[in-house]
Amino acid sequence: MNHVNGSSESKYDVVILGGGLAGLTLSLQLRKSRPEISILILEMRNHPATVAGHKVGESTVELGSHYLREVLELKGHLEEFQLPKHGLRFFFKSHTKEDITSRVELGPRERLLTPSHQIDRGTFENFLSQKTQDEGTVLILGARVKDVNLSDEGHTVTYMNQGVEKTVKARWVADASSRGSILKKKLGFQKPMEHHVNAVWYRLKGVIDIDDWSEDQTWRHYLQPKLRYLSTVHFMDKGYWLWVIPLGSGNTSIGIVADPAVHSFDEINTYEKALVWMEKNEPLCHKMLAPKSNDLIDFLFLKHYAHHTGRLYSDERWGVTGEAGAFLDPLYSPGTDFIGLNNSWLCDLILRELNGEDISVRATVFEQSHLALLENWIPIYKDKYLLMGNTQIMVIKIFWDWATYWSVPALLFTNRGFVDIKILKELFSTATGLGRKFGELSGKMQELFSAWQPYDTEIFSDRYIDPLDLDYLKDFQHGITVQYEPKDLIEKIRQNMAILEKVAAEIFRHVSAQVYDTPMDMKVDPYTISLERKPEEEGTGIGVDLNIRRDVQKMWFYKKKQYA
């Protein structure tokens, strides 16, 4: 791999601060639309990324996979050198954690229609580095950015490389410096994120297949071979989840993500402590993983990893992408999703400005849309680790979160809706717009899950639940890549929102009947649901949809109340 360690050029269309996943993919996306664009990437690392690279973000889901496979056209590499991913898989608490077959298991039984991947970040970033250089990008390793000066006449970036201070001019500066957050710190748009969770993770040499964790042949053969192995596996209980992720290098990633209100950071912040914690909280994981200590490759941690941002894009020709902006939570593997969204907005602005367009309105709309999306997603995670020991709540919450993800943001992204100003204005410009209603409905459901916790007291065992057994979820998942004209896309979002409203109403009927013994045929306004007091029927609410009811009952573990 021929990395450049210096450059004779002094002026570029775009200087990207950081040569990780966000910066490298941004450079490739820009080059796809404008091959002649001049790009400089300044990467602080002074050597190629290591195989089984020590980074969070090995797992992709549908939006991020579409970005890598279709937008960047990297399907060939992903299918040849990275592992396919068989969705997210969850094992919930049980009375006998030593027996994996006793735990409620959530995940697809058959291969998913929409592909995703388990990515070895070291291998992948080295491939991206070489590809973008082959296409004309200048990549300087060992470059430590000292200062960025933003000016109407043209920006300058000063950096150190091999002991020499250098300065280059740039029309655009894109900050992809991850948690270095160079522009955020310089311009002062840091913003607190009230989601305090910690993570530790490490790599082990070799393949770990959880199908080998039981001799029960019925359990082992309930899925097609290797489908559990190819999943992103979550073991979950109150305040934490533990991941097991296979890597294309033939190694395995193990991680613990925990709310310090339940599991102190001091309990997990070294490899030895993490094993002690595992023995107490996930004894089977400890039994299967602790003997592999001699295969340990590395160990890292992040304390209070979530962070927010007050800005993202500017018509003054700068923007931030990846973790240089914001990061929420790894639970649903959203890192590459946000890189795809981030880069698509930033790429659109850069290309239009270089073509002479006034981007002031677009920059404002894109930033407001991105920040609104972040705000809508924060309640999905904030304080929800306290619910992870409640199996019934978490099953319904996970299915709800997937439904909202597949039906709106993933569909918008695959149809380029997020860079269509008319679509964004129609969705978000008014208080009654579909985008605003989407955020409001999602927020109401997250409040419901928290309020329900005192009433969800049973520990369930010996169940398997497949999201694609629910017709509406299967339709949402299969519909992600269907292409629509803009007016038809808005109508499809409207139809999906109507389904989400019916699902929310039916979930609330079940919960309210459990808590207050309310009738199962009452009408429900999903935008006013609450468990603060016994609900009264909403005369203008949503009535029962029998198809939705059948789907909700498939994920309802308590004794079903008869339809009144």
Q: What is the pLDDT of residues 457-515, one digit of tens each?
A: 999 999 999 999 999 999 999 999 999 999 999 999 999 999 999 999 999 999 999 99
CA-wise closest residue to 409 among 470, 349, 459, 341? 341
- Identify the pLDDT of residue 377: 93
In this structure, is residue 463 part of a structural domain? yes
Rg (CA), the chain: 24
Q: Is residue 16 part of a domain?
A: no
Closest CA to 143 of 161, 129, 156, 158: 161
Say if CB 97 and CB 282 are below 8 A apart.
yes
Is 169 part of a structural domain of the chain?
no
Q: For residue range 38-92, what is the model confidence (pLDDT) as tens digits?
A: 999 999 998 777 654 445 546 899 999 999 999 999 999 999 999 999 999 999 9
Instruction: Give the side-chain half-sphere CA count within 13 A for 467.
Output: 27
CA dihedral 303, 202, 91, 444 (to 10 degrees): 30
Dihedral sign (CA 183, 186, 188, 191): positive
Adjacent-strand bridge partners of 240: 237, 258
Cβ neighbours, 10 Å, residue 453: 13
Percent of the chain with pLDDT strictly greater than 70: 96
Residue 485 and residue 521: Cα distance in Å, rounded?
A: 38
Look up residue 291 and give its two tokens: 């003997």
Q: Are 89 and 228 in contact (CB under 8 A)?
A: yes
Are the C-beta atoms of 541 and 521 separated by less than 8 Å? no
Q: Which of 7-16, 24-33, 308-317 has the lowest mean pLDDT?
A: 7-16
Strands 198-204 and 252-258: antiparallel
Does residue 341 surpass a pLDDT of 50? yes
Tell me, yes or no, whether 470 lies in a domain. Answer: yes
What are 273's two structure tokens? Answer: 């402590």
Q: How far is C-alpha 358 from the geometric centre of its chain's CA atoms? A: 32
Distance CA 506, CA 555 (A): 12
Residue 515 in any domain: the answer is: yes
238 belongs to a structural domain:
no
Say whether 303 sits in a helix, a strand or coil.
coil
For residue 401, give its domain range. 390-564
Does residue 437 sit within a domain? yes
Whether pLDDT at 562 is above 80: no
Query: In the predicted model, is pLDDT for residue 15 greater than 80?
Result: yes
Q: Which has the closest alpha carbon to 368: 435, 438, 437?
A: 435
Query: What DSSP element (H or E) covers 254?
Result: strand 252-258
- Confirm whether 485 is domain-assigned: yes
DSSP annotation of 298: E
Number of structural domains (the chain) is 1
pLDDT of amino acid 59? 85
The CB density around residue 449, as the number of other CB atoms within 10 Å, is 23
Task: Report the predicted TM-score, pTM, of the whole model to 2 decimal places.
Answer: 0.95
Helical segments of 4-159, H only:
21-33, 62-66, 75-81, 121-134
- Distance CA(543)–CA(521), nearest Å, equals 7
The neighbouring-strand residues paired with 318 are: 173, 314
